[in-house]
Amino acid sequence: MNFIWVWNAKSLKRYMVVAVAALFTAGILWTGQSQVPVFTTDDQPVAIYKVNAEDKRIALTFNISWGEERAIPILDTLKEHEIDNATFFISAAWAERHPEVVERMVEDGHEIGNHGFRHEHYTNWDDEKIKSDIQTSHRIIQEVTKEGPTYLRPPNGSFDERVLKIAENLNYDVIHWSIDSKDWENPGVDAIVENVTSQVTNGDIVLLHASDSAKQTKEALPQIIAELNEQGFKFTNVSDLISGAEVSTEEIQ
């Protein structure tokens, strides 16, 4: 059975509605790769995974943590299709090695999010190590882009209640996803396109990758864009998607 709760994104505090919290005290948030426990009381933060949008808007998001071959072709493809508002969650260790690529992302109009410094599971770390990694990544990204990020996607999509609380204390919103392209598995171009386009709905946040391990994303991207355009969807970044809207999290039982 699935239970869906809605938060108003204007507050950006991401707290549970009291009436709902009285009914449910804890839940399991489905990450697409694993199940992560997220406590859903009225004083605990949550992760944003989609928006309840009336219009056909979606956000393309890309994780990147290593490599130098895939990012530029993906940026070229987005530019060719006049998309200047994707959101890139970048590892700061990668950004240090490739500041020119990060600068290109910003120049092209894309939004930059924090993907940590060391690409390891935060849930295996103690609080101070998590905090230090987020802050180190924040500083480096700010040095490169001249603007501090406000959205965090933890490395490997790995988080729990503790990680969410640390992120909130550092003034971050944690952004998950509702559509997983599974491009990191390299299942074939047709499979990636199908994974994204077959069940997409208004307000979805789409997970893609621009690391070198995702070898088929660039080839799948034009087909994804064409199919979503045909379905009437418009592309936007995470900030614009959640601004003034209602955002959702989900418990899977």
The secondary structure of 92-137 as a DSSP string is: HHHHHH-HHHHHHHHHTT-EEEE--SS-S-GGGS-HHHHHHHHHHH
Which tokens is 44 given? 């605990």
Q: How far apart are CA 234 and CA 55, in angstroms?
A: 9
For residue 186, is pLDDT > 60? Answer: yes
Query: Is 3 within a domain?
Result: no
Query: Is 204 within a domain?
Result: yes
Q: Of 75-79, 236-240, 242-246, which gets the smallest average pLDDT?
A: 242-246
Query: Is 8 within a domain?
Result: no
pLDDT for the residue numbered 67: 94
Q: How far apart are CA 107 and CA 248, in angstroms?
A: 31
87: left (phi over 0), alpha (psi -120 to 50) or beta: beta
In the chain, pLDDT over 70 holds for what percent of residues? 79
Residues in the chain: 253
For residue 107, is pLDDT > 70? Answer: yes
For residue 25, is pLDDT > 60? Answer: no
Q: How far apart are CA 239 and CA 237, in angstroms?
A: 6
Residue 117 belongs to a domain with what CATH number? 3.20.20.370
| Residue 205, H or E segment | strand 205-209
Which tokens is 116 given? 């940590």
| Residue 7, H or E segment | strand 2-8
Q: How far apart are CA 91 and CA 113, in angstroms?
A: 9
For residue 10, is pLDDT > 60? Answer: no
Query: What's the structural domain count of the chain?
Result: 1
Give the predicted TM-score (pTM) of the model: 0.83
Band (247; pLDDT cuts 50, 70, 90) = low
pLDDT in tens, 194-225: 999 999 999 999 999 999 999 999 999 999 99
Mean pLDDT of the region 83-110: 97
pLDDT in tens, 55-68: 999 999 999 999 99
pLDDT in tens, 121-156: 999 999 999 999 999 999 999 999 999 999 999 999
Q: Are 37 and 212 in contact (CB under 8 A)?
A: no
**Residue 138 CB contacts under 8 Å (≥ 6 apart), including other chains:** 92, 114, 148, 149, 170
Query: Is 25 within a domain?
Result: no
Query: Is 52 within a domain?
Result: yes
Per the prediction, the chain carries an average pLDDT of 84
More confidently predicted of 199 and 36: 199
pLDDT for the residue numbered 1: 29
Query: Is 119 within a domain?
Result: yes
**Residue 111 CB contacts under 8 Å (≥ 6 apart), including other chains:** 85, 86, 87, 88, 151, 237, 238, 239
pLDDT in tens, 170-183: 999 999 999 999 99
For residue 11, is pLDDT > 90? Answer: no
Looking at the DSSP assignment, which residues form a beta bridge with residue 57?
Answer: 234
> Dihedrals φ, ψ of 162, to 5°?
-65, -45
pLDDT for the residue numbered 243: 87
pLDDT for the residue numbered 16: 35
- Residue 178 is part of which domain span? 47-244
